[in-house]
Amino acid sequence: MSSKFLKDLQNGERYELLMLNHLKYKTYEKMLGNFKGYDIIIHKNNGTKTTYEVKSDKQINIYGNICIEYECYNKPSGITTSTAKYWCIFEPKGDYYTLYKIPRKTILKDIEKKKYKRDCIGGDNKASKLYLFDKNIYKDYIIFSSIP
């Protein structure tokens, strides 16, 4: 494994734990391995459970977009293969951040209705295909922001 992959993995795990600070739950489980349908299962006091995909998107600050991957190395990935109920997307800005909690079904409907600005290629080695959404269409899904 490359050092960049390990650094990205550590960064992702940090955001998964940070997300837990903003949710009420009894217990949680982190999913292990690559290419899983979600990152975390939250167990609530009433016996229900909910699944979450956690993303940290530095591009939001630069371009004002939320990037949603749908393919990588010519194989379905990201929103296409996710089974998470919610996508929690962090918009980091130095020591501050905004956290979006968006139902996956909402993102899928927005893709179907072509509410994204455009699709593009990006990521490591330009291997990912992404939908770019203006972050403002998801402003109602912000559950926390410390960005001044």
Per residue in 12-26, pLDDT (tens digit) is 788 999 999 999 999
pLDDT at 10 over 60: yes
Q: Confirm whether pTM is higher than 0.85.
A: yes
The domain that holds 45 is classified in CATH as 3.40.1350.10
pLDDT at 3: 62
pLDDT at 1 over 60: no
3-state SS class at 82: coil
Tens-digit pLDDT profile for residues 107-124:
999 999 999 999 988 877
How many domains, the chain? 1
**Domain ranges, residue 134:** 3-145
pLDDT at 6: 59
CB 50 within 8 A of CB 85: yes
DSSP-assigned letters across all residues of 97-114? EEEEEEEHHHHHHHHHTT
pLDDT at 5 over 70: no
Q: What mean pLDDT value characterizes the chain?
A: 89
Sign of CA dihedral 84, 135, 24, 11: positive
3-state SS class at 124: helix
